[in-house]
Amino acid sequence: MTPDELTGSRVRALRKSRGLSQAELGGDVLSASYLSMIESGARRASAAALRHLADRLGTTVDHLALGLEPDCRAAAESRLALARLALRDGRPADCLTLLDEGGPGVADSACRWDGEAGAARIRALEDLGRTEQAVDAYETRLARLEADSPAWAEAAADLVRRHLADGAPASAAVLAERALAVFTERDLLWSEPAVRLATHLAEARARQGDSGGGHALLAEVARALRAHPDDTARATAYESAATAAHRAGRHREAHTLAERALALHHDLDRRRDALTVRALSAVLLADAEPDRLADAVEQLHAARAELLPLGPAEHLTNCELALAEHLVRAGSAADAHRFADAVLQRLGDSGHPHEARARLAKADALLCADDTSAAARQLDLAVGLLDALPPDGDRRTVECWRRAAGLHRRLGDTDAAMRAYDRALHIAGHTLPRPARSRADLPGG
């Protein structure tokens, strides 16, 4: 049988098992004659037809088109991915809904569900202001881990942060000291989670009136970092901790860590690195304190002015891309457009990943200026560039696809928005069973 005949036979078998006539299954969307041709294999079902049939028959497009049985594990992974995406987009209530609607079948189907879904749930509770529930969830999570293990100590850092946010520096200090001891005993005081814990503990001690103790602790961590073979390990550890905190949405913590990295680079007289981290710090400042967006933009302008004579172009390009993206947020679409064009002129038609990011920033600026047709052209160019990039899980590519999805949605193209979201999830390591498939994706296509 041909692939189309196989699809038709699956549709016919499911229709009959549900006691539906062709007219009932087609409804107002598909005519009985069109459905008859699909079932016989004489006509290939379109993507829209497959979506309709899958919804009506209670199955997936993958099952109808490819014969793949619906997979509970895939459903769990997809729901978790959507929940995390909702959280990242500032929709914590939607995140909780997605997790709660998973049901026991979904929760039991993926070994990562308990850990990753639990972390997403806690963050959503925090974002909704349900701090008591968040603390309870943190404590439950810690209780499930082997006490005083590195995994336990890393998880403890989140609860320490929560205690600090809730105005409980004494509780934060007790837990942080215990967790930090785990890293100290294993000679891991220079690691990223240890740096985060040390930062939290220093803050807790300062709030308790012991600023000297906090400074002494950070000096101890700095000594551990200096003992590391790489003489830039100290700054690198702070930078990596800042980046990790930023990705997790802990913007204030990320900004503090970036500032410490900046101070270290100044001490090492690494001017170029210091300027790069200054630009990173400005981005983190804008995320941590949105009302200081103007200050962040000013810092980015200052960093760019000093980077211009130093280079290399990579650092300057990153700074100008950040300027373009943040100027849009600040309502300066024309300036954002100018910096995006500067990046594009420097890159040429190289197909560099930064070109896609620059075109996305330009599309955003054009959309803010109500030039929807030009914005759509830039977005199409950006998507073409993103399609050509290897799906290697790079977080910057994931972020670009997510931004493309947002721009498609603002332009009113919800199908393209969903496709872009799917790509973001796929590259990030998740597979979302989508009802829409192109003809080329099907066997024999």
Amino acid 8: pLDDT: 92
In the numeric block, the tokens 């103007």 are attached to: 294
Whose CA is closest to 389, among 345, 363, 424? Answer: 424
pTM metric for this prediction: 0.49
pLDDT in tens, 319-331: 888 889 889 888 8
pLDDT in tens, the chain (445 residues): 777 888 999 999 999 988 899 989 998 889 988 899 999 998 888 878 888 998 888 887 767 876 756 655 566 667 788 888 887 666 888 888 888 775 443 333 333 445 677 788 888 888 787 878 888 888 888 887 788 888 888 888 888 888 887 778 888 889 999 998 988 888 777 776 787 788 788 878 877 777 667 667 766 766 666 666 455 556 766 776 676 666 666 777 778 878 877 887 776 666 666 777 777 788 777 777 788 888 888 888 888 887 777 655 667 787 888 889 889 888 899 999 999 998 898 887 766 778 898 999 999 999 999 999 999 999 999 999 988 876 655 567 788 899 999 999 999 999 999 999 888 888 766 544 444 444 344 333 3
The domain segmentation of the chain, as residue ranges, is: 3-66, 332-445
| CATH annotation of 3-66 | 1.10.260.40
Residues 6+ apart with CB under 8 A from 80: 99, 102, 110, 112, 113, 116, 117, 120, 430
Cis peptide before 70 (omega within 30 of 0): no
Amino acid 282: pLDDT: 80
In the chain, the N- to C-terminal Cα span, in Å, equals 15
CATH for 332-445, options being 3.60.15.10, 1.25.40.10, 3.40.50.1100, 1.10.443.10: 1.25.40.10
44 vs 38: CA distance, rounded Å: 6
Assigned token pair, 351: 């197909």
Amino acid 350: pLDDT: 67
